[in-house]
Amino acid sequence: MFAVRNKKIFYIISGAMLLVCFGLMIFWGFNVGTDFKGGTIVEVKYQGSVPAKAEIESALRDIDLGELSVRIAGENGFIIRTHDLSAEEQELVKDTLLFDGSYNYSLERLNSVGPAIGRELTDKALVAIAAIIVITILFIAYTFRGVSRPVSSWSYGLVSIIALIHDITIPAGAAVLLGKFAGMEVDALFITALLSLLGYSINDTIIIFDRVRDNLKQNKENNTHESFEETVSKSLSQTYVRSINTSVTVFLVLISLYLFGGASIKFFILTLIIGTVSGAYSSIFLAAPLLVTINNWRRK
């Protein structure tokens, strides 16, 4: 199989992508949203004529709100993020957005998140991701306990976690770039996307591992002598079409949502698109070849 035969090339590609993503996270960092650092979100939808984004930014800066983010939402809406506003400041923002009656809007959303709640959400998000990783290791090690040769069941769990780290690091690195150049903010939706990708990616990987397990059992029952590399390659050949077809189906749905969905979920959908591609790549070109590499190290 091409993926196993050229595994070193794919290791280099994955390693380079991970280094770039970790570098972006370290040196640029995430554009953290109100959900995690606290603040106020105001979403308005204008009726009739719509002011320009620059016009809104200028008017709000004149009333000195400090750090400010204005994002277009749909054809005639805007999402405004500021520090945690008092009741008086909220009323001032509402009046300012009317531009002395020149424009008319409906208030779609006004939410405030305090710094304490933001820190709590951050802690819970990290705990959720860590819990999924630990549970995944234990589950796979238990599920594959009957297959301890030529690699242990724990090796399947370890490889799965490496693939999961790969699959959430790539979208995270992309989020840093999008935050730097497109104004994407890391919020609760972004964490939801990462958790969704963890579940989707591990499912794709387990399908391949399950085929490896079945082929190993068949080889033992039929007294067939073939190398572990041949078994993994055969397993990939039997599953990669299904894996690619599943990923393409999900990809097409996500593209449709990105093109025709609301502006407020575009970055959420884009994160899922990047993670879906990354997950399909890692299951075929990273996870399965890593099993062969671990077996080679064990033999040495």
CA distance 21 to 216: 36
Q: Bridge partners of 77?
A: 45, 73
CA distance 45 to 197: 32
* Rounded distance between C-alpha atoms, residue 54 and residue 47, angstroms: 18
- What is the per-residue pLDDT for 276? 92
Mean pLDDT in order along the chain per 10 residues (300 residues): 85 95 94 78 89 89 80 83 84 89 88 68 78 79 71 82 91 93 84 85 85 85 83 88 87 92 84 93 91 84
Q: Could you count the other beta carbons within 10 Å of the beta carbon of residue 114?
A: 11
Supply the DSSP symbol for 32. Answer: B
- Residue 232's CB is within 10 A of a number of other CB atoms, namely 27
pLDDT of residue 148: 59
CA-to-CA distance for 234 and 255, rounded, in angstroms? Answer: 32
Domains delineated in the chain: 2-33+117-299 (1.20.1640.10), 39-113 (3.30.70.3400)
